[in-house]
Structure 1
Amino acid sequence: MEFSTITLEKLGRYGILTLNRPQAMNAMDAVMMRELADCFEALQQEQEMQVLVIRGEGKVFSAGGDIKAMLDTNQPLDIDVAMTYLTRIAKAYYQLPMIVIAAVHGASAGLGFSLTLGADIIVACENSKLAMNFIGIGLIPDGGGHFFMRERVGTVKAKQLIWEGKVLTAAEALDAGLIDHIAPDGTVFAVADQLVAKLLASPLTAMITTKKILHTQNLPQLESILAMEAEGQSAMRKTADHLEGIQAFVAKRRPAFVGK
């Protein structure tokens, strides 16, 4: 399977999936969303790979959804098509029959952070910035962001983090329970390799079976949340606050929200 916005290396019992739009800070456009959905669905049938590392090419993990695509008047992003892709991504991602490590450097924001939070193990570079910052452009988390954040920190804390939309340092994210490990600057991929080596020397079949048992029990909740995210995000895209949010983002000014 060939892709234009991601790469997948299969290295025996582990693999590396790289978000590969460095010129756009690995922001996820419709093509990347479709390719991630196709990739994760194909990996459901993987027989040999037991560990998958997800990382970003270039300076960051992922800046999130492609805001420029939202503003493109010639070929605007179809929100309903995008939400269909994101539903496929999150469901297949959550059911991957392998241990997933997210190796974060630079930034992981918005949809990129949803992807990060869905990993089984998260390691972030100490100078990285992490943010569930949909609220800054008048949107709600998608890609299973509500579900993955709630799994990590519980309902009350998830609400507060989502509403605040704060950009967190790696240390703050670790204290909040959003990530598992911090790597010294410039070493996040090396630390991820060390985690892979440790896992490959572990009884992975038992570990993956535990993951399957726990995730299968939670899958109906994920599916329900994804349906509500799709409906809610479609509605948010039509609000005055969202239009103001993206215009302010592009103009690099503070948005003036009115709650509509």
Structure 2
Amino acid sequence: MSYTTIDLEILERKAILTLNRPQAMNAMDAKMMQELADCLEKLHEQPDVQILIVKGEGRAFSAGGDIKMMLGADGAVDFEVLMSYITRFAKAYYTLPMLTIAQVHGAAAGLAFSLALASDVIVAEESAKLAMNFIGIGLVPDGGGHFFMKERLGVAKAKQLIWEGKVMEAQEALAQGLVDHIVPDGAATAVVDQLVGKMLASPIAAMLETKQILHAEKLPELERILQAEAKSQAKMHGTKDHQEGITAFVEKRQPNFIGQ
């Protein structure tokens, strides 16, 4: 499997998937979304791999969706196609017959935060910044963001954090239950390696059965939410508030939302 925006390394019983657009803080453009969908679906055909680590190259895990793509700066983008890629990779990741670990440093924002939250275990460095910040550009979470936030927080708290869209320090995210481990800056790889070693020395087949039982029960709900997110995102994509949000982001100013 060869890709241009991600790297996949398979090392016997574990695999490492690296988001690899460091010049753009690993922002997810259409190509990365497609490659993530293709890669995660193909990983279902790797029965010997029992653990998948997802991380980012360079200064960040990922800044989320590529704003330039949303502005059309990189050419015309079919919105329905984008949402189909997002739906595919979110579902493929959630149903992987592997234990998944998100290794987060720097920013994990928007769609990238949805991806991290879909993981079985999230390890974040102390200086990491985490944000479900779709609201800042007049959108709703996608990539199953509503589902994964609700799973960790419950409905009431999930709504509040989605609406607030704040950037959280790692310690606050830990206190909220949105990450599982905080480690010193630069130590994430070593700590994740230790976790992987412990998992591989455990009866991991039984652990994977538990994951399958619990996720199979929830999969229909995730599928409904992904469908609803795609529908809502298409609706929000055409609003004045969304256009104002992304324009203000690029111009580095506060947006002036009007509720339309």
Q: What's the CA shift for 1:73?
A: 4.9
1:109 corresponding residue in structure 2:
109
Equivalent residue pairs, number: 260
Q: What's the CA shift for 1:44?
A: 1.1
Q: Which amino acid aligns with 1:51?
A: I
Matches within 5 A, 1:142-221: 142-221=142-221
5+ residue gaps, structure 1: none
Q: What's the CA shift for 1:161?
A: 0.5
2:78 corresponding residue in structure 1:
78
Q: Which amino acid aligns with 1:99?
A: L
Structure 1 contact 114–132 (Cα < 8 Å) conserved: yes
1:251 corresponding residue in structure 2:
251
**Structure 1 residue ranges, 4+ long, deviating more than 6 angstroms after superposition:** none
- 1:209/1:236 CA distance change after superposition, 3 Å: same
Q: Which amino acid aligns with 2:188?
A: V
- 1:48/1:74 CA distance change after superposition, 3 Å: closer
1:63 corresponding residue in structure 2:
63
Q: What's the CA shift for 1:6?
A: 0.4
Q: What's the CA shift for 1:133?
A: 0.2
5+ residue gaps, structure 2: none
2:14 corresponding residue in structure 1:
14
- Percent identity for Structure 1 against Structure 2: 64
TM-score, scaled relative to structure 2: 0.99
1:135 corresponding residue in structure 2:
135
Q: Which amino acid aligns with 1:149?
A: M
Q: What's the CA shift for 1:77?
A: 2.6
TM-score, scaled relative to structure 1: 0.99
Q: What's the CA shift for 1:186?
A: 1.1
Q: Which amino acid aligns with 2:211?
A: K
The more displaced of 229-238 and 73-82 is 73-82
Match of 2:3, SS? coil
- 1:181/1:32 CA distance change after superposition, 3 Å: same
Distance in structure 1 (CA, Å) of the matches to 2:158 and 2:189: 28
Distance in structure 2 (CA, Å) of the matches to 1:102 and 1:82: 23
Distance in structure 2 (CA, Å) of the matches to 1:148 and 1:99: 16
